[in-house]
Structure formats: C-alpha cells, structure tokens
Amino acid sequence: MKTYIHARLSKEDRAVLEDLKQSTGHSESELVRRGLHLVSKELGPTRSALALAGQSVGRFKKGPRDLATNRRHLQGFGE
C-alpha cells in the first residue's frame, strides 16, 4: 500500500523541481523519493545511546546505581 504526502513548495523550490524533472526525465515522485534517500545517507545511520557510549559502558565500578532514576541526584542541577 502506498502512502501519499502533500508538500508546499516555494516558487524557487517548484522551479528546481521542474528543472530536475525536465533534465532527468524522472517524475516528481521519483525525485522526491531520491531526495529523501540522499538526505538519509547524508545524516548517516541513527545509533542508540548504548552504541554511542561504546567502550565506556560498564567501566565505572563506583557511584550511585540509581543515578538515572532517582530525582535526588538532580537537585540543584541546571540552576
């Protein structure tokens, strides 16, 4: 099943789309799909916090075990 979207384009964006359509022979839909894939590749894969933390996970032997869940540890933080 296909999903349809509607997008508002400025005159400049519409002109770019028309130019691309003429020069490539691709449909508007194909150009938008290709654009989405290009932006996705540019941003790179999304990574979890665990993956971003990498080798530092589990390195600390001391410290409060409930640091992430106990609000008491956040008192005065950000004031």
- Tell me the per-residue pLDDT of 26-64, one tens digit each, with 9 for 90 and over: 999 999 999 999 999 898 878 888 888 888 777 777 888
Q: Is the pTM of this model over 0.85?
A: no
Q: How confident is residue 23, by pLDDT bands cut at 50, 70 and 90?
A: very high
- Lookup: tokens for 46: 């999304």
Residue-level pLDDT at 62:
81
**55 and 66 in contact (C-beta within 8 Å)?**
no
Backbone angles phi, psi at 29, to 5 degrees: -60, -45
